[in-house]
Structure 1
Amino acid sequence: MSYSQHTAWSDPGPFAGSLNDLPADPGQLANCLENFLIHHAAARSLNFGVPDYAESDRNLRTVERLLQTAMDRDNRPLTEHRKLPAYLYGSCHDFTLIAASKFRSQGIDARLRVGFVDYFRKDRWEDHWLCEYRKDGEWRLLDAQLGMRARQGHGIEFDITDVPRSRFKSGCELWLAIRGGEIDPATCGLFYAGISGHWFPASNVLKDAATLAAIEPLPWDYWGPAREFSRDRAVSEEAQAQLEQLARRFVPAPSSPEEASSMLEDFDWARPTREVLSFADGELRERLLL
């Protein structure tokens, strides 16, 4: 398997035609995603909120389910702008997964990267997922959530199809920076939700390694030691050291899903399980990874 092949999460299934309607250019793709997809937190901050029937959108998990829901609400091509009631109300995961699906459908290497960015809040590393894709033999970062309107709203001036590496740290990179005393864990988290501290970046180390192995969970899925992090919001010194060992193996990132999967064999506790503890409907519940 290569990063240009679909996973069970990125496969559009019978909605391949709808995916093909989306533009191939990365920048235009991000602009087009704004026609039918909005971050649920952005919808709330803009004071029009999330419709009750769309509260579960961010738990759809797969591109097939996302596109099916979008087309059920408005069956016009995805290039056509929707009215708000017909939108999908997702998360950065969904923008990233759809972008990766589009690249893979074109035979382009693409992978979800779990990490943190510094461009949403001053002096803060905010949880955020980007799509890393290969162009001209090099890996580049696309922030698929930053279409034209989002860029204007956040005052983004850099090229969102080639996000500067200094503005993004993968979960593994950030954990090593925390362990090295370079970054204060209190400055890392999901600040619109009031989340920060060691436990949150600790859980992202597991998700970063998983997506590199072509296993693509939701941002609020927890397994292995992260089950305890999510409940207790504390990370023992022993767990911190174990996560450091895992992070060191995944920096730099592996060259293929097979390599990543092989690396995970040395860390059985870090591999996602069939059932994960996931935050849905306001509480932590057992959910199937797929």
Structure 2
Amino acid sequence: MTETNLSEDTRSGAASPTEHPDGRDWWPTDYDPSPWAIHSPYSDPGRYRDLLAAVPPRIPALSAVARNLIIHYRASGLDLPEETKDEINARWVATILDLDQQRHSGPLAVERDPMTRVQGCCRDHSLFSAAVLREHAVPARIRYGFSHYFLPDYDFDHVIVETWLPEEHRWLRFDPEIAEPMKLLPTPQDIPHGPDSPFTTAAESWQAYRAGTIDPQRYGVAPGVPVGGDWFLQGAVFYDAAFRAGIELLLWDGWAPLSSPEGLTADEAAAADELSELIIAADSGDADAERRLIDRVRTDPRVGPGTTVQTNSPYGDPPTTTDLTAVQA
């Protein structure tokens, strides 16, 4: 792992810094982002460390490599190979790299034919990008929430990346799937924070739902897909909490505290209320809230997944039980 100060280098090519909605520098001067400079079991490249280290830790460059390596199994619009469709369950970066290297040898930046890329989704693009930054000792984490920039009238569940800029003393958000500015996302390499931004965290979206300011039926996987609504918003809060603790699950994993399409219960809603308050406090620079959030995810079965999850299938196949301790390289 290369130790280096990469504030300016990392954000090379990004737009000018955005401000916190209230205009102040809200991160405490003693805030320590270093835990996110260390690989989680999910981002650890294993025997492919040299390949990952060769990717420049600059947002435009590493995002391009992520798109070159991984293709969205659904949103690409391509008729991707049936024989590789199960690659969407490659939860470990080491597994993603292994799948890639079985078809391509050599540097990850060498152009891949789209039909030979590893099938995945936004979670995989973001986890790979975070893995590159962590390999260079740059703090990075992935966030689960909702994008408001793909369509003007629908809010897609989505995963993006945060990386710490020490010289600017802030977490910068970027979307590695987006190569160029969009009408609804003019700064994909420096996404503003806050409840009115183009990307809102799961906690912000949940609290907006509880306040009655959003229509939950607009929030989900995609228009016309019956996976969305209030129960989906509730589960999103738990996903983002797990991500915060370095448990970077697949987006179709499930565990006990999450609500289901059968209906959101009062207890499930109350649990999401409590968790969303912790997340938002942590996002506002409250180090104690952040510690309590991570501890609860890792130790409280009413919040975290523990050692096993039920892995559902976007294709409608029967669910399976996944052992999260069985890291695949």
TM-score, scaled relative to structure 2: 0.79
Which residue identity is paired with 1:221? D
Deviations, residues 85-112 of structure 1 (Å, cap 9, x unaligned): 3211110010010011011111111111
Q: Secondary structure at the match of 1:111?
A: strand
Superposed, 1:115-134 pairs within 5 Å as 115-134=145-164
Find the counterpart in structure 2 of residue 250 from structure 1: 279
Measure the CA separation in 2 of the matches of 1:10 and 1:33: 13
TM-superposed CA distance for 1:53, in Å, is: 2.1
Find the counterpart in structure 2 of residue 288 from structure 1: 323
Find the counterpart in structure 2 of residue 162 from structure 1: 190
Deviations, residues 256-277 of structure 1 (Å, cap 9, x unaligned): 9755322447853111121111
Structure 2's unaligned 5+ residue stretches are 1-33
Superposed, 1:75-114 pairs within 5 Å as 75-114=105-144
User: Which deviates more, 55-64 or 256-265?
Assistant: 256-265
Deviations, residues 95-139 of structure 1 (Å, cap 9, x unaligned): 010011011111111111011010011122210001111013210
8 A Cα contact 1:142 1:162, kept in partner: yes
Which residue identity is paired with 2:321? E
Q: Secondary structure at the match of 1:99?
A: helix
Which residue identity is paired with 1:244? D
Measure the CA separation in 2 of the matches of 1:204 and 1:107: 28
Q: Secondary structure at the match of 2:277?
A: helix
Deviations, residues 61-80 of structure 1 (Å, cap 9, x unaligned): 01100011111111131111
8 A Cα contact 2:69 2:117, kept in partner: yes
Find the counterpart in structure 2 of residue 201 from structure 1: 233
Q: Secondary structure at the match of 2:74?
A: helix
User: Which deviates more, 172-181 or 5-14?
Assistant: 172-181
Q: 2:89 aligns with which of 28, 37, 59?
A: 59
Structure 1's unaligned 5+ residue stretches are none
Q: 1:157 to 1:126 in 2, by over 3 A?
A: closer
Deviations, residues 4-47 of structure 1 (Å, cap 9, x unaligned): 1100000001101111222221012112222222111123x2xx
* Structure 2 residue 69 is matched with structure 1 residue 36: yes
8 A Cα contact 1:189 1:195, kept in partner: yes
8 A Cα contact 2:67 2:125, kept in partner: no
Which residue identity is paired with 1:85? M
Measure the CA separation in 2 of the matches of 1:35 and 1:128: 19
User: Which deviates more, 176-185 or 248-257?
Assistant: 248-257
CA RMSD of aligned residues (A): 2.1
TM-score, scaled relative to structure 1: 0.89
> How many percent identity over aligned positions?
27
Which residue identity is paired with 1:120? F
The number of aligned residues is 280
